[in-house]
């Protein structure tokens, strides 16, 4: 590998990490004023970038929704979707629910194996299942960090996490939330995540073509 290619790969890792950190921030807990301000600033900048049509559209639409929604409106959506146990619109975020049709299904064991191979351990204070969307995004972030630092070859684990868990889970969440007319903001967040993961899949496919 040439030095130029090495630098390019590291730069790509940095871009991926910024996007994934942003995406995780939408789902990890209730948003506050500081986070809303940060989101608005990021999307004002991203709106000037051109990546691909699908992702550009998702960024533009989420940016417009961020500008139009108040913090309280976003908090209300978050509570109804992810917190209120009596909400008719409660939205599960764990992979097993969508892949196996039930929480704590057999796919959870498959995801735990990825964590084991990547030497990743869920922090004890986190009560969500390991295969919840924020934890899966955090696992991908950790694996990319290992790749960037050159301490572990994690590309195969990243690909497994992406194709077997993150993409199918996100597609199913997108289908579920699309039926909820009261979740405009988080619909746009899921659309953004779906479009970004398609970009990740494109990176995987281009690497596979290069290998062959």
In terms of average pLDDT, the best of 75-84, 116-125, 194-203 is: 75-84
Q: What's the confidence (pLDDT) of residue 197?
A: 96
Count the domains in the chain: 1
Provide the terminal-to-terminal Cα distance of the chain, rounded to the nearest Å: 16
User: Quick one: pLDDT band at residue 128, thresholds 50, 70, 90?
Assistant: confident
| pLDDT tens track for 130-172 | 899 999 999 999 999 998 887 778 889 999 999 999 999 999 9
Query: What residues have CB less than 8 Å from 101, skipping those under 6 apart?
Result: none
Residue 8 has pLDDT above 70, yes or no: no
Q: For residue 167, with 0-12 CB atoms within 10 Å meaning exposed, 13-18 middle and 19 or more buried, which class applies? A: middle
CATH number at residue 154: 1.10.3480.10
Which carries the bigger pLDDT value, residue 63 or residue 210?
Answer: 63
Summary mean pLDDT of the chain:
89
- For residue 98, give the nearest of 140, 133, 139 by alpha carbon: 133
Q: What's the confidence (pLDDT) of residue 6?
A: 45
Task: Say what percent of the chain tops pLDDT 70.
Answer: 91
SS (H, E, C) the chain: CCHHHHHHHHHHHHHHHHHHHHHHHCCCCCCCHHHHHHHHHHHHHHCCCCCCHHHHHHHHHHHHHHHHCCHHHHHHHHHHHHHCCCCCCCCCCEHHHHHCCCCCCHHHHHHHHHHHHCCCCCCCCCCCCCCEHHHHHHHHHHHHHHHHHCCCCCHHHHHHHHHHHHHHHHHHHHHHHCCCCCCHHHHHHHHHHHHHHHHHHHHHHHHHHHHC
Is the pTM of the predicted complex or chain greater than 0.85?
yes
Rounded CA gap, 43 and 61, in Å? 10
Q: What's the confidence (pLDDT) of residue 1?
A: 31
Q: What's the confidence (pLDDT) of residue 127?
A: 75
Q: What's the confidence (pLDDT) of residue 4?
A: 38
- Whole domain around residue 128: which residue ranges? 3-211
Rounded CA gap, 195 and 185, in Å? 16
| Average pLDDT, integer, range 41-50 | 92
């Amino acid at each position: 590998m040439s030095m130029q290619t090495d630098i390019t790969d590291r730069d790509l890792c940095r871009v991926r990490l910024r996007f994934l950190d942003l995406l995780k921030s939408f789902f990890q807990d209730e948003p506050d004023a500081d986070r809303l301000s940060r989101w608005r600033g990021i999307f004002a900048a991203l709106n000037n970038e051109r990546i691909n049509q699908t992702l550009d559209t998702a960024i533009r639409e989420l940016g417009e929704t961020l500008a139009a929604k108040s913090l309280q409106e976003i908090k209300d959506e978050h509570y109804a979707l992810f917190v209120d146990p009596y909400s008719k619109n409660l939205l599960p975020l764990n992979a097993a629910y969508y892949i196996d049709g039930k929480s704590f299904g057999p796919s959870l064991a498959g995801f735990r194996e990825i964590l084991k191979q990547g030497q990743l351990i869920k922090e004890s204070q986190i009560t969500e299942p390991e295969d919840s969307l924020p934890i899966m995004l955090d696992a991908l972030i950790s694996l990319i960090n290992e790749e960037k630092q050159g301490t572990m070859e994690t590309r195969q684990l990243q690909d497994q996490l992406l194709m077997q868990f993150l993409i199918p889970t996100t597609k199913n969440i997108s289908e579920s939330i699309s039926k909820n007319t009261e979740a405009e903001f988080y619909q746009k967040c899921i659309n953004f995540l779906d479009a970004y993961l398609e970009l990740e899949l494109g990176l995987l496919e281009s690497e596979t073509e290069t290998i062959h």
